[in-house]
């Protein structure tokens, strides 16, 4: 496990480099990932707009910032994602702000399809759901926890929709994006800070 994480970190991107990678691929009408399609490129383009907006407008609550600055340890947050992932577009800008404001978290990003061994270690109900935030102790290189692929409220929304209709369609995806919009990133912030505080000693 430690070797797999170390290998992924070696091939990882800082946040701004990841954002540029996605943008550059869109200029070529491509998305990240081994599979290419018009749909995936379309989702990537939508996500580019979402992330650009959130990068400009996302602010952490004062309480969250205080808790981040009070962390005793130093951590790496290694995020598995792809540019076409709608959940990641809502979550990554928040994770980036938390890393910056903490001064104790180094955010690194890897692509799911390029890091299959790593992804297989963090499956959700046997599926390669993303994003996954992997928390690594910076001093020891040990895995101390992980979070994802979405906040509990968003998980429940999708589960309830699937229970009612039997599938996930564009309406479900639209409902999910509306949930994120109304939540304003608060659930993601709270769940991540609660997790990191549990691990911080």
Q: Could you list the pLDDT tens digit for every one of the 201 residues in the chain? A: 789 999 999 999 999 999 999 999 999 999 999 999 999 999 999 999 999 999 999 999 999 999 999 999 999 999 999 999 999 999 999 999 999 999 999 999 999 999 999 999 999 999 999 999 999 999 999 999 999 999 999 999 999 999 999 999 999 999 999 999 999 999 999 999 999 999 887
Q: Exposed/middle/buried for 13, CB within 10 Å: 0-12, 13-18, 19+?
A: middle
pTM of the model: 0.95
Q: Where are the domains of the chain?
A: 2-199
CATH superfamily for domain 2-199: Glutaredoxin (3.40.30.10)
Per-residue pLDDT of 83-97, as tens digits, reads: 999 999 999 999 999
């Amino acid at each position: 496990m430690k070797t797999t994480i170390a290998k992924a970190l070696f091939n990882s991107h800082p946040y701004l480099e990841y954002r540029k990678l996605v943008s550059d691929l869109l200029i070529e009408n491509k998305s990240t990932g081994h599979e290419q399609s018009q749909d995936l490129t379309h989702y990537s383009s939508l996500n580019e707009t979402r992330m650009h907006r959130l990068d400009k407008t996302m602010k952490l609550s004062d309480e969250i910032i205080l808790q981040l600055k009070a962390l005793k340890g130093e951590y790496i947050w290694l995020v598995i994602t792809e540019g076409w992932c709608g959940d990641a577009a809502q979550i990554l800008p928040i994770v980036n702000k938390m890393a910056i404001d903490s001064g104790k978290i180094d955010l690194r990003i890897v692509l799911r399809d390029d890091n299959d061994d790593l992804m297989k270690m963090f499956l959700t109900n046997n599926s390669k759901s993303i994003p996954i935030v992997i928390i690594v102790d910076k001093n020891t290189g040990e895995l101390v926890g992980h979070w994802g692929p979405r906040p509990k409220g968003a998980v429940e929304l999708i589960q309830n929709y699937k229970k009612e209709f039997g599938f996930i369609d564009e309406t479900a995806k639209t409902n999910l994006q509306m949930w994120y919009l109304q939540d304003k990133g608060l659930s993601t912030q709270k769940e991540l800070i609660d997790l990191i505080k549990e691990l911080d000693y």
